[in-house]
Amino acid sequence: MAVLAVAFVFSFLFYLVLTAGSGKVLFWSIEEIGFGLVFAAFTAVLAKKFFCSTGTKLGFRSLNPKRWVFFLIYAIGPLFFEMAKANIEVAYRMITKKIKPGIVKISPGMKSDFGTMMVANGITLTPGTLSVDVDEKGNIYVHWIFVESKNPKLEDVCSSFPKWIRRIAE
Amino acid sequence: MIILVIYAFLAIGIIFQTSGVIALHQFPDVYTRLHGSTKCTTFGSIFIYLAVIVYGAWFAFSGQPEYAVLSIHTLIVMVLLLVTNPTGAHAIARAAYRSGVMPKGAVVDMLKEKYRVGKK
């Protein structure tokens, strides 16, 4: 029941964000608010299984605003910086054609599926690395465009991401 | 002044997108090509979206509030792209490996062991 209520509130807020500027009651028209309530109820019933689910091992702890603030800082700071570096790296490899590819294995040691997924996404967006496969223990197989060592340390492949993601997703 | 910022964002975005296209033609196999296509399209698109967001905000603050919707929707699309683009690349890479495409000229391949152990 609590999950249903939280899912309802979030889908209603999302609907309000999508339709901002439609009328005169603050920013919304009466019709939009009414339909928003109806659709939010439908969405809450459909999303009940996935929302705040225990599959991520987070449950309601994902509603903690501290995690959202950390996520924003992570997205604007380290992630954006690494993406800029990644693009320059790709341009460099493309011009010089200096590549030494290989697939290496790293263990970020995330406890939840959600954390592993965020680390894999981060790896794909950082310089010279692309996640190819994941096994049941949360080890990630990474395609590295220029292999520096065959047993890489965690920091070589995904810089400071696991530290950040542990704060956000665990 | 604001129009210059918008042009600058568009130019940066198009430069990165173009480098992604060239990377597709320069690299030898599917994995290295994915490097080019995912990173450059994500980063290039972010700059083009930033241009749209600035454009919408500019019109919204100069007396046409309905343009705020443009900015908000683009912001949501930006977040979704940031999540889905790497996931899609991961799906392509995994499907390619499982259907037997080996990385060309690889110096080390630790994923081979996983599937060899799995088969026995």
Contact call for A131 and B83, based on CB within 8 A = no
- Provide the CA B118 distance to its chain's centre, in angstroms: 33
DSSP state of A98: -
Per the domain annotation, does B58 fall within a domain?
yes
Query: What is the extent of the structural domain holding B96?
Result: 2-103
Per the DSSP assignment, residues forming a β-bridge with A40 are none
Is A13 in the B-facing interface, judged by CB distances under 8 Å?
no
Per the domain annotation, does B109 fall within a domain?
no
Is B59 in the A-facing interface, judged by CB distances under 8 Å?
no
- Provide the CA A45 distance to its chain's centre, in angstroms: 24
Per the domain annotation, does B65 fall within a domain?
yes
* Residues A132-151 pLDDT 10s: 888 887 788 888 888 777 77
Residues in chain A with CB shorter than 8 Å from the CB of B19 are 87, 90-91, 94
Per the domain annotation, does B91 fall within a domain?
yes
Q: Which residue has the tokens 């290989």?
A: A102
Query: Measured between CB atoms, which of B38, B86, B107 is closest to A102?
Result: B107
* Residues A51-64 pLDDT 10s: 766 555 566 676 77
Per the domain annotation, does B112 fall within a domain?
no
Contact call for A18 and B42, based on CB within 8 A = no
Per the domain annotation, does B117 fall within a domain?
no
Query: Which residues are CB-contacts of A96 (< 8 A; sequence separation ≥ 6)?
Result: none
| pLDDT (average), residues A65-78 | 84
Count of domains for chain B: 1
* Residues A77-95 pLDDT 10s: 888 888 888 888 888 888 8
Query: Which residues are CB-contacts of A68 (< 8 A; sequence separation ≥ 6)?
Result: none
**Closest approach of B3 to chain A, Cα-based (Å):** 24
The interface predicted TM-score (ipTM) is 0.78
Per the DSSP assignment, residues forming a β-bridge with A142 are A104, A131
Per the domain annotation, does B79 fall within a domain?
yes
Per the domain annotation, does B32 fall within a domain?
yes
| pLDDT (average), residues A36-54 | 81
Is A17 in the B-facing interface, judged by CB distances under 8 Å?
yes
Token representation of residue A13: 């807020």
B12 or A99: which leads in pLDDT? B12
Residues in chain A with CB shorter than 8 Å from the CB of B107 are 100-102, 147, 150
Please provide the average confidence, as pLDDT, over all residues in chain B: 85
- pLDDT, position A57: 59
